[in-house]
Amino acid sequence: MRFLSVIVCSALLATAGLASAELVEKAKSFGLVAFPKDPADILKLAEEKAPDAKEFPLTNERVELGKVLYFDPRLSRSGIISCNTCHNLGYGGSDNIPASTGHKWSPNPHHLNSPTVFNSVFNTVQFWDGRAAHLAEQAAGPATSMVEMAATPEHIEAVVNSMPEYVDMFKKAYGDDVKISFDLVTTSIGIFERTLNTPSRFDDFMNGDYKALSDDEKKGLDLFLEKGCATCHNDINLGGNMQTFALANKYKFADIGDFKGDANGMVKTPPLRNVKMTRPYFHNGAIWTVEEAIKEMGSVQLGIEISDQDAKSISTFFDALNGKMPEIVYPILPISTDKTPKPELDY
């Protein structure tokens, strides 16, 4: 009898493995792509995806420099706002508020929500309207926007060049004859951001570990595919590409803010990695629960009604997209000098 039980259990496990293998192949056929198993291969892939990596390849010195710059609020006009203010690495790479707050505590004038910085190197474009091609170009935008960090390239160059520690870090990263420029500052920040990648249980499952997802998560993944969600949320980031927004129906919160996408009405599809950590949702941060966001996307993009039960099932799959966060040690910032520009609070 015990021998028979072993045979039955073995048969069930084999069947479950086969079903999981089929689900993986199905996900691949819908355009979903996993991170490689080896962390070194993930970094290699990030370098391949970064358009400026050939000219500025990743080194430990450049990553460390970029990290310090990312956390330094003195790059802003007020001396209060850093990249991490709106893309908080402890919050899933965003700021968990509907519309970001910038210089003089002013809300974003277009009521735009801060996208996550994690895995952003794998987006095909940056910003909600896709106007930046890569991370260094993206970093330049908020730094010089008067409603965000409100700085100028000249201010940022003056800040960095005023501190011997920064000058030394740039020399170690780029050579003794380096000229510290605004472009090299944003390049360094982008190099650091290339390393902010979060492999998840979803990747383990796609790479053959069929026990990495629960049965409920597998069911949610299958529903995600069957409902058509992967039409936009595909590739390695499950998003990050440009798509026509409100294709089937009007977005119910379309009147919050004035953002309409790019010139063709295209909007960057939010990546779904770590989506449970990055609420609120949509470009204007108007929806606070994953289930409501799923149902709204069904209506807006697919023209279908997704039931509460199905939305909950797909949301369960999203748990498997919560990734392993890189260990980030908050840096001790270089010491200001008498030449360091003073904060301009403009109160």
Residue 93 clears pLDDT 70, i.e. is over it: yes
CB atoms within 10 A of CB 267: 21
Task: Give the model's confidence band at 11: pLDDT under 50 very low, under 70 low, under 90 confident, else very high.
Answer: very low
Burial of 145 by CB count in 10 Å (0-12 exposed, 13-18 middle, 19+ buried)? middle
How far, in Å, CA of 190 to CA of 187, rounded? 5
Its pTM surpasses 0.85: yes
Same fold, 41-193 and 201-321: yes
Report whether 171 contacts 178 (CB < 8 A).
Answer: yes
Extents of the domains making up the chain: 41-193, 201-321
Which two structure tokens, joined as six digits, stand for 321? 């997209």
Reduced to 3 states (helix: H, G, I; strand: E, B; else coil), residue 210 is coil
Q: What's the confidence (pLDDT) of residue 342?
A: 97
Residue 148 appears among annotated catalytic residues: yes
Reduced to 3 states (helix: H, G, I; strand: E, B; else coil), residue 246 is coil
CATH 1.10.760.10 fits 41-193, yes or no: yes
Burial of 262 by CB count in 10 Å (0-12 exposed, 13-18 middle, 19+ buried)? middle
How far, in Å, CA of 225 to CA of 279, rounded? 22
Second CATH level (architecture) for the domain 201-321: Orthogonal Bundle (1.10)
Taking only Cα atoms into account, the Rg of the chain, rounded to an integer number of angstroms, comes to 22
How far, in Å, CA of 292 to CA of 282, rounded? 11
Q: What's the confidence (pLDDT) of residue 344?
A: 95
Share of the chain above pLDDT 70, in %: 95
Share of the chain above pLDDT 90, in %: 92
The binding site for heme c comprises: 83, 86-87, 103, 229, 232-233, 297
User: What sign for the dihedral angle of Cα 107, 109, 115, 116?
Assistant: negative
Report whether 212 contacts 204 (CB < 8 A).
Answer: yes
The binding site comprises: 83, 86-87, 103, 229, 232-233, 297
User: pLDDT digits over 281-325, tens only?
Assistant: 999 999 999 999 999 999 999 999 999 999 999 999 999 999 999
Report whether 331 contacts 67 (CB < 8 A).
Answer: yes
Residue 291: which residues within 8 A CB-CB, separation 6 or more?
A: 308, 311, 312, 315
Out of 22, 48, 64, 148, the active site residue is 148
Reduced to 3 states (helix: H, G, I; strand: E, B; else coil), residue 268 is strand
In order, the DSSP letters of 291-320 are HHHHHHHIIIII--PPPHHHHHHHHHHHGG
Q: What's the confidence (pLDDT) of residue 333?
A: 98
How far, in Å, CA of 289 to CA of 269, rounded? 17
User: pLDDT digits over 201-242, tens only?
Assistant: 999 999 999 999 999 999 999 999 999 999 999 999 999 999
User: pLDDT digits over 150-174, tens only?
Assistant: 999 999 999 999 999 999 999 999 9
